[in-house]
Amino acid sequence: MSGDTQQTAAEYIKHHLQNMTYGKFPEGHDLVGQWGLAHDAAEAKSMGFMAIHVDTMFWSITLGVLFLFLFKKVAKNATSGVPGGMQNFVEMIVEFVDSSVKGTFNGRNPYVAPMALTIFVWVFLINAMDLIPVDWIPSVAGWIGHTFFGMDPHYVFQKVVPSTDPNATFGMALSVFMLTLYYSFKQKGFIGFAGELTLHPFSSNNIVLKLVFIPINFVLEFVALLAKPLSLSLRLYGNMFAGEMIFILIALMYGGGWIAGIFGGFLQLGWAIFHILIITLQAYIFMTLTIVYMDLAYQTSEEH
């Protein structure tokens, strides 16, 4: 698609950054009241909160199912003898995650390690979609839409990296955030959790000063509390969106002649090799921060 003369560079970039959005058309639209796929970013925005990013949901669920299938298959066929390559690989990941949990989480919760493993592998697989050449899947999606549904290929969007969609990263971060809140209340109770938000970091034995510090502490701690899901989601989204944008800009070079195309090929290869580190690091950071937040949920006020 980068060589399509009917698309300008700006249109090409916008097309690759647009999610396939399914929702209800609002008032003022020719199809008002009907549900369908948005043709551009403006239509997608007008569909509101109930709109669904079909590509984000499809790839996220598909990769999640792939993770479960592979790990279940390896666990089912695991042997105590000489393990195969896949079993070795899975055991290495499990041991790596297990050591990360043991080194960071000081509480006792049988769900933390499986959650950390799920997050690490799932986020890695989601990020790894960024290594697929940016035109391949959108071109196939455009061909399918045109051949079987009579759609204009330019209106068939396919954003295949779910972590470049803030809705996906915020969804994962909010899930982690709700779990940490649940275990904070469970371990500390309402009074203990309230005390954590109001009696630190400033404290005093003087009752008057303690009352003065309560609203100040609450503002500071509440902001820090809300910053956890924001930083967790925006860090992943920002890094992956920037990486995807670079791949798209490099792909534009293929439409600039054979010299620019060859140079772009080398750039793409170099960036893809470097990007392997980025996608792994982002998965590791998301997992590690999740473990840290769960550990904080188990800490009492005296340990803060």
pLDDT tens for 232-241 read: 999 999 999 9
Catalytic residues: 231, 235, 239
Domains in the chain, number: 1
283 falls within a domain: yes
24 falls within a domain: no
Residue 110, φ and ψ in degrees, nearest 5: -70, -10
149 falls within a domain: yes
260 falls within a domain: yes
What's the pTM value of the predicted model, to 2 decimals? 0.91
174 falls within a domain: yes
47 falls within a domain: no
Between CA 77 and CA 152 the distance in angstroms is: 46
**Residue 147 burial (CB count, 10 A):** 10
Q: Which domain holds residue 269?
A: 9-19+55-303
**C-alpha to C-alpha distances, 170 to 63, 191, 257, nearest whole angstrom:** 18, 29, 40
Give the residues of the chain that fall short of pLDDT 70. Answer: 1-6, 301-304
184 falls within a domain: yes
Between CA 51 and CA 53 the distance in angstroms is: 7
25 falls within a domain: no
Residue 84: per-residue pLDDT: 80
Residue 112: per-residue pLDDT: 95
Q: What is the DSSP letter of 265?
A: H
**53: exposed, middle or buried (Cβ count in 10 Å: 0-12, 13-18, 19+):** buried
Residue 303: per-residue pLDDT: 54
